[in-house]
Structure formats: structure tokens, C-alpha cells
């Protein structure tokens, strides 16, 4: 079996183009498996995986759990709310206690950037970053790029616009790393206050006008306004954001060409996307969710192979 270059998946920054292609080829096989009447394979039998979530999640958490169960792994779930974290237990103590119960892999979401990197230096289990603060969300970027490849036959040379709150988005950063490694042209678009100053050093174009970004791109990956991470006011009101940056089905229908509409979820309906855009034939939002299970199966399977 081919192997990944890393024993953890902490970020897309750390992995190679060959790693990404290997994950996609493996996910192609798992996508076929999860569409069969019998959706389970014994690949991770006797492997125990802990999903350790210190921050809210719907898609990522369910998707990892399903991926693990489809691979026949034993699964334990931990969420910070209702745990001894509330009594003051540290991250390292929490995870070491979970590992003492003979856990092989830890899938972790945490509000602090770098939390999974810290853990990887202190524990033996494989770590998968399921989102760390405003830093990286590697499996989201992998499933996004996998979905683009599926829709357009490849990622290299395609024009991808990432639109919205780039400043607070771990999805944006991981997507930029993945798409650039795969040879795509990448543009970020949003209000100037929501675009970090350093972003052009990553080799992406910056566009403040969403109409121009939509005319330019083959794929629009629209991001949520992350109100929970915004201590300051970056724009006057959600209504004004929606007026200038919100995308409707009519906007998409009126473009000179067909583009693919993506969103990592959760959607703020009526803010970055109208409901008729999110549910339109342009949208592949639920295909992204379906692909997330196959891509996460591939990541877990390959990481388990890296240590066995």
C-alpha cells in the first residue's frame, strides 16, 4: 500500500501534492463502497478512534464518525461541554486520559490554532486536525478539492474564487494550500476588512467586487460570516453585507457561463447565499457533504497504514 508522507494530518501546508492525489485515489474507491448496499469494509477493525471536539460541529463530527464506522473502527466520542474540561482539566490531561483507554487515533477540533500540533508533540496516537481556530481545516479542503475534481474532471488550471470572511476562515487557508498544490488559480473576494494583509504572499489574487469574482471563476466557494469569531465590527450590518456580497440564484443565472457553487456549511441563509442559490442546480453543497465521508475514510485508512 502507498503511504502518506506524514503520520498525522495537521494541515494541508504540511502534506505534498502526491499525498493529496493518493488521498483522492483512495477516496474514489471508498466513494464506491459507501454507495453499495453493504457500506462497510473491515479495513480498520481493531483500531480505536476518539473524536475529541472542543468546539461545535455538525458535518465534520458526523462525517468522521460515519467514516470510522464504515471502516469498522471502534469509535468513542468526546465533547468538551459536559466533560471534566469544565472542571479545569487541561487539553493534554484530557487527551492522555482518553489515550490511557488504548486509543490509536485522535480526531480533534479545537478553538485554538495549533492545538493539534501541540498534541502531536506529546502523544503517540495519530492526530487528525478537524479544525483548529482560524488556522486550518484540512479534511474540509480535501473534500472541497475532491468535489471540484469530480465536477470539472480535475483541479489543475481551474479558477476558484473563495468568497466571504477570509480573515476568520480556516477553510479558506486550507483550501488555498490544497488548490495551489494541485495547480489551480485561486482568488479571494470579500470586503477589504475581511481579507488578511498577508494573503497575496500565498500566490492568490484579491478582488473586492463579487460580480467580477463570479465572472472570473469556474467555481465559487462561498464562506460563512463567522460572527462568533469577530470581536470588532468588520462591516456595518449583515443586511449591508448581504446587499454587496450575498449571492442569489438570479446572480448565478445571469452569468455568461455556468459556474459551480460550493459552501462548506453551516450556511447563513439570506446572508452570504440566498436559499434559492443554496438549493439551486448550481449548488453542489450536499455533494461536498457526501464526499466528506469518502475523503475522511481515505485519510483515516492511509494514516492507520502509516503506523501499522
Binding site for ligand CP (CB under 6 A): 57-61, 131, 137, 140, 264-266
Nearer to ligand CP, 113 or 208 (CB): 113
Cβ–Cβ under 8 Å, residues 186 and 179: yes
Least distance CB 169 / ligand CP (angstroms): 10
Min CB(215)–ligand CP separation in Å? 27
Query: How many whole angstroms separate alpha carbon 82 and alpha carbon 290?
Result: 30
- When the beta carbons of 13 and 59 are compared against ligand CP, the nearer one is 59
Cβ 45 to ligand CP shortest distance, Å: 26
Q: How far is the CB of 5 from ligand CP (least distance, A)?
A: 24
Work out how close the CB of 79 gets to ligand CP at its nearest, in angstroms, rounded to a whole number.
Answer: 12
Nearer to ligand CP, 55 or 207 (CB): 55
CB nearer ligand CP, residue 57 or residue 72:
57
- Considering the complex, state which of residue 140 and residue 274 has its C-beta at the smaller distance from ligand CP: 140
108: its cell numbers:
480533534
Residue whose C-alpha is closest to residue 138's, from 198, 104, 178, 92: 178
Q: In angstroms, rounded to a whole number, what is the distance separating the alpha carbons of residues 142 and 174? A: 8
Instruction: Report the interhelical angle of 170-181 vs 17-34 (nearest 10°).
Output: 110
CB of 268 to ligand CP, least distance (A): 13
59 vs 159, which CB is nearer to ligand CP? Answer: 59
C-alpha distances in Å from residue 15, one per residue of 30, 43, 49, 290: 21, 23, 22, 23
Amino acid at each position: 500500500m502507498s503511504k502518506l508522507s506524514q503520520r498525522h494530518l495537521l494541515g494541508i501546508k504540511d502534506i505534498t501534492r502526491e499525498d493529496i492525489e493518493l488521498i483522492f485515489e483512495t477516496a474514489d474507491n471508498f466513494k464506491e463502497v459507501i454507495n453499495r448496499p453493504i457500506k462497510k469494509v473491515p479495513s480498520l477493525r481493531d483500531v480505536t478512534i476518539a473524536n475529541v471536539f472542543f468546539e461545535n460541529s455538525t458535518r465534520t463530527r458526523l462525517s468522521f464518525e460515519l467514516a470510522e464506522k464504515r471502516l469498522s473502527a471502534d469509535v468513542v466520542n468526546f465533547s468538551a461541554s459536559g466533560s471534566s474540561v469544565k472542571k479545569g482539566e487541561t487539553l493534554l490531561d484530557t487527551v492522555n486520559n482518553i489515550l490511557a483507554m488504548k486509543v490509536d487515533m485522535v480526531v480533534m477540533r479545537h478553538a485554538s490554532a495549533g492545538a493539534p500540533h501541540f498534541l502531536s508533540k506529546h502523544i503517540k496516537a495519530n492526530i487528525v486536525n478537524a479544525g483548529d481556530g482560524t488556522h486550518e481545516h484540512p479534511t474540509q479542503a480535501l473534500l472541497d478539492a475532491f468535489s471540484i475534481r469530480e465536477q470539472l474532471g480535475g483541479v489543475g488550471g481551474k479558477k476558484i474564487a473563495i468568497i466571504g470572511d477570509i480573515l476568520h476562515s480556516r477553510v479558506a487557508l486550507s483550501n488555498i494550500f490544497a488548490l495551489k498544490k494541485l495547480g489551480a488559480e485561486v482568488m479571494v473576494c470579500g470586503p477589504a476588512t475581511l481579507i488578511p494583509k498577508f494573503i497575496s504572499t500565498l500566490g492568490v489574487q484579491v478582488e473586492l467586487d463579487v460580480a467580477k469574482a463570479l465572472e472570473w471563476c469556474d467555481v465559487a466557494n462561498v464562506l460563512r460570516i463567522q460572527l462568533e469569531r469577530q470581536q470588532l465590527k468588520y462591516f456595518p450590518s449583515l443586511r449591508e453585507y448581504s446587499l454587496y456580497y450575498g449571492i442569489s440564484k438570479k446572480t448565478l443565472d445571469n452569468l455568461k457561463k455556468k459556474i459551480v457553487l460550493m459552501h462548506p456549511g453551516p450556511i447563513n441563509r439570506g446572508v452570504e447565499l440566498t436559499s434559492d442559490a443554496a438549493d439551486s442546480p448550481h449548488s453542489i453543497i450536499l455533494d461536498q457533504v457526501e464526499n466528506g465521508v469518502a475523503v475522511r475514510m481515505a485519510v483515516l485508512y492511509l494514516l492507520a497504514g502509516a503506523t501499522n
